[in-house]
Amino acid sequence: MAETPSAFPFTARGRFGAPTRQSRHRSFGSWLNRNRRLVVALLLCVAAGITVHQLTPASEQRTTVLAAARDLPAGSTLTDSDLLPLAVLPDGLPAGALTPKTEFRGKQLASPLQKRQIPTDAQLLGPGLLTGTPPATAAVPLRMADPASIQLVSPGQLVNVVLTAADGLEGAGKKSELLASAVPVLWTSRQGGKASQWLGTNEADGLVVVAANPRQAEVLAGASTRGKLFFVLVDPSDNGQSQPTAG
């Protein structure tokens, strides 16, 4: 007598023909054996990607400053097109570097700039130096006979400017003449650090810019052609009387 088939027959593939868990396991193992090299290669790629991600440093934050759009000669009056924004790393950025917020328009360069060179506030002359000074005040550049003496003076310091000239053709004697009394210093070559770093030469060594009234400016202009210029530090509370320290 023939056996009556079950109402829900099971086969090797499981109920209703679906593969059993054991069957699926054998199929995956078979696929893994056939593609072992591919799996190893994929795992190596993933490991390499993780390693590279961990070893790659985070991108450094950059600072936006202004740089020369082209070569600019000394004395140039700056306009919007002369300086362009440049993103640079903070390390090694010169002190006083100009930023997009710096008011530079209409100011003059005290030294030449090369294309993409970053200027500093110490390289700007012009209206900014004379802000707050009396009307008709002039900014007069003077070259001191002793460049090292610039280390003794800073902007805001009052100085007496003295001219020492040879007396007679033989230069046997020398006489000193007070050219200007208690004039404030506006700028010195010391402000830009070592002059050769931004001039390419030492042309700014010993240079001082003072604020002078019209009479003083007339006397000081071209004074260095008549002899050697020195300054004497002045105590503001001393009514213009000089201190012993001289440059």
What's the pLDDT at 216?
Answer: 94
Residue 85: which CATH number? Answer: 3.90.1210.10
Give dist(CA 102, CA 114) in Å, integer: 19
**pTM of the complete model beyond 0.75:** no
Question: How far is Cα 132 from Cα 76, in angstroms, rounded to an integer?
Answer: 23
Domain total of the chain: 3
**Do 156 and 238 belong to one domain?**
yes
Domain containing residue 150: 138-246
210/176 Cα distance (integer angstroms): 20
Secondary-structure percent of the chain, ordered helix, strand, coil, rounded to 5: 25, 30, 45
Q: How far is CA 30 from each of CA 11, 22, 42, 192, rounded to the nearest angstrom?
A: 21, 12, 18, 76
Return the minimum-mean-pLDDT range out of 58-62, 157-161, 194-198: 194-198
Q: How many residues comprise the chain?
A: 247
* 93 and 146 in a common domain: no
Helix (H, G, I), strand (E, B) or coil at 40: helix
For residue 240, the one-letter residue type is G
Going by the DSSP 8-state scheme, the letter that residue 193 receives in this structure is: S
pLDDT for 119-143, tens place per residue?
A: 888 777 655 667 677 888 888 889 8
**From CA 109, how far away is CA 96, in angstroms rounded?**
14
